[in-house]
Each structure stands twice: as structure tokens, then as C-alpha cells.
Amino acid sequence: MKNNNICLELNVEYLVMSAGVDEVGRGPLAWDVVTAAVILDPARPIAGLADSKQLSEAQRERLYDLIIERALSYAIARASVAEIDELNILQASLLAMHRAVLALPIQPEFVYVDGNRCPKWPYPSEAVVKGDSKVPSIAAASILAKVTRDREMLTLDGQFPGYGLAKHKGYPTREHLAALLRLGPSPIHRRSFRPVADLLQVSK
């Protein structure tokens, strides 16, 4: 199968027990990278699946509930801040994807992975660039991961006030960088990411 034959990919997705997997949180300066894997049920289609970044919060929340209700199988996994700092964000993301697929109660025959590379695993799989806008199961996975991580950031905003986590979700906005300068890194900040690492170096 080739990445440029999307129609074929979408058809094949329902001919075999295929899963889609995606991650959320590679770019933020804080918290875990969260992944999800989803096997959709062709008998219970979900209208409106799309790249989670292109959906409103209300749309994501509605679709999240539908995916949980109608999917044949789903799982959510993560790599921690410590693992991100130890492995680097790419390897941590691949590890979290692997964990999500392994955690599926129904194991897939094939896996579609968002991006340009697949984890090292035994599953027949294909990496699909911008897969969250091309493969429905990847879109569903992106929504589960995004809603899960956003909800966690709302909770963390109460535990670590002053950084604006509920608003920017840990991404390096001007507000977040200013808060880091004022407050210093919190325990959930990624020490290996440059703005945080630079602050730690200055404080030594």
C-alpha cells in the first residue's frame, strides 16, 4: 500500500481489523505525550471524524463520547516527562504509540500510524503523513488523545497555578515563557526542552 493511494487505504481499513494510532503533546514544554489507538466499527460509523486540531473543543468532546461508545476497541497510553527527557521526544512518542496498540483489548491485524515512521513492533503497519486528516481511525485516535491530554492540563493548572496551563496546554506561548521566567520550571516541565534547560542552566 502506498501513502498516495488514500482511497485504497480507507477501503482496506475496513477489510481487516486495523487500528489507527496518533499522539498529542510533542511540542509542549510540560507534561506527558499522550497517545491513543482506535479500531473503528464499520457497522457503527461516526460522522465528522477529522484531525483534532481542526475541530472546536465542543466538537472534540462530542466525538470523544461517540468514539468511546461506538469503537470496537480503543486504548490510551503515554510516555512520561521523565521518559521524554531520557529518550527524546521522538522516541518517547513512538514508545507511547506502541503502548497504546499493545493495550487494545482487541488486537489489530494492521496499524496505521500518523506521521512518517512506525514504532519497532511486530504489527504490519504503515506510516501516513497527515494521517489524522486521511484515515478515520487515526482521526479518532487523535481526538481521544487530544481530549484526554487537554483535560489533564486543566487539572494540572490547579496544581501548578500561574503558568496558564489550562489556556496554552503547555505549549511555548509568550505567556508560558514569561511565567517560566517568573516562576521557574515546575515538576511537570520537560528539562530536556531548550527554554526549560536554558532556565535551569542560568539558575545554577
- List, for residues 120-143, the tens digit of each pLDDT value: 999 999 999 999 999 999 999 999
> What is the pLDDT at residue 203?
63
On whether the CB atoms of residues 46 and 202 are closer than 8 A, the answer is no
> What is the pLDDT at residue 1?
36
Partnered with residue 125 across adjacent β-strands are 111
Starting at the edge strand found earlier in the chain, the sheet holding 125-128 runs 73-79, 33-39, 18-24, 110-114, 125-128
pLDDT higher than threshold 60 for residue 52? yes
Q: Which amino acid is at 14?
A: Y
Chain-centre distance for alpha carbon 114: 10
What band does 105 get if pLDDT is binned at 50, 70 and 90?
Answer: very high
pLDDT tens digits for range 11-35 = 455 568 999 999 999 999 999 999 9
Q: From the options 3.30.420.10, 3.40.50.300, 3.40.190.10, 3.90.1150.10, give the CATH code of 6-160.
A: 3.30.420.10
Report phi then psi at 9, rounded to 5.
-60, -45
What band does 177 get if pLDDT is binned at 50, 70 and 90?
Answer: very high
Instruction: List, in sequence order, the alpha helices (H) in 89-163.
Output: 89-102, 136-159
pLDDT higher than threshold 60 for residue 115? yes
Distance CA 164, CA 183 (A): 12
Distance CA 135, CA 2 (A): 13
> What is the pLDDT at residue 9?
43
Q: Which amino acid is at 8?
A: L
> What is the pLDDT at residue 3?
36
**Of the candidates 3, 193, 166, the residue with the CA atom closest to the CA atom of residue 81:** 193
Instruction: List, in sequence order, the alpha helices (H) in the chain.
Output: 6-13, 57-70, 81-87, 89-102, 136-159, 165-168, 174-183, 194-203
